Chain A
Amino acid sequence: MDEVFKALADPTRRELLDRLFERDGQTLSALEEPLSMTRFGVMKHLKVLAEAHLVTTRKQGREKLHFLNPVPIQLVHERWVSKYARPWAETLTGLKRELED
């Protein structure tokens, strides 16, 4: 989990995630375009994101596409939010059953 927080503790990396959230599956060229940063700089940031498993890649023909992997953030959510969410979940489940009966 350290790697996730390290990866998220940088505005450029958060911006890269924002852009993949908006449109998933982008090439390095597409990602570096709006950033005032060298290709090498963007690659370094993508590497940190990949090491935290927040970004994964897939080949499409000759191109390498980058995808946002939201699962590590879900795990952060489960770790600290689930305790507060439990009574809600039980209430909702109970309510649903009641309505259906």
Chain B
Amino acid sequence: MQRHDAGVVLAPGDTTAVFEIYIKTTPERLWEAITDPKLRAKYTFGVETHSDWTPGSSYTSGVPGVIDIAAGENIEVDPPHRLVQSMNALWSDEARAEGTSVVTWEIVPVGDSCRLTVTHDQLRPDGNGEIYGGWPMILSGLKTLLETGESLTTPGSLRFAGAAA
């Protein structure tokens, strides 16, 4: 099927989770919402992600002075189409023990919308689902933000909002 032509080809034995969402927006606005710390915080539980977004650069996610969420490298940066990042979860000892995984963001324009696919792979087999369990809420919050300009208010979505004040 042509619409499943996303570029990620998995390595043998790879443990992977795939999340896909359609958002009525442009690839440029979607890219901005992923890479701008203030916009990003609106749908990632108040967590800011900082980086200069050049290939090979590092990024950090967290609420300054409150909690570190994740850190890693921007392996591939191809705005507004593709972003590949290594990810080390930092929010708990259990999360740290999961080691390094890889998150690939792919944006494909479809009509007046974009298909955003987040492929989280190189996960530890039978590892802690917490590592990738936040994606459905994050992506639905991203859709709400871009399509309505509002932030989600479901439980957990405001978890760290205002915590850094």
Interface residues of A (CB under 8 A from B): 24-25, 50, 53, 56-61, 65, 67, 69-71, 73-75, 77-78, 81-82, 85-86, 88-90, 92-93, 96-97, 100
> Does any Cβ of A come within 8 Å of B64's Cβ?
no
Name 8 A/B residue pairs within 8 A (Cβ), A-sorted. Answer: A58-B9, A58-B119, A70-B19, A78-B154, A82-B152, A85-B154, A92-B159, A93-B162
Residues of A within 8 A of B1 (CB): 50, 57
Question: How far apart sit A53 and B23, CA to CA, in the bound complex (Å)?
Answer: 13
Number of interface residues of B (CB under 8 A): 37
Interface residues of B (CB under 8 A from A): 1, 4, 6, 8-12, 14-22, 117, 119, 135-137, 139-140, 143-144, 152-159, 161-163
Pick the residue among B12, B19, B156 that contacts A61 (CB under 8 A). Answer: B12
Residues of B within 8 A of A96 (CB): 159, 163
Question: How far apart sit A82 and B4, CA to CA, in the bound complex (Å)?
Answer: 31
Residues of B within 8 A of A57 (CB): 1, 4
B11 touches A58 (CB 8 A): no
B18 touches A69 (CB 8 A): yes
Report the minimal beta-carbon distance from A68 to chain B, rounded to whole angstroms: 8
Question: How far apart sit A78 and B6, CA to CA, in the bound complex (Å)?
Answer: 27
Pick the residue among B12, B20, B155 that contacts A71 (CB under 8 A). Answer: B20
A71/B10 contact (C-beta < 8 A), A56-B117, A89-B158, A92-B155 known: no
Question: How far apart sit A82 and B14, CA to CA, in the bound complex (Å)?
Answer: 35
Question: How far apart sit A29 and B153, CA to CA, in the bound complex (Å)?
Answer: 41
A89/B11 contact (C-beta < 8 A), A50-B4, A75-B140, A100-B163 known: no
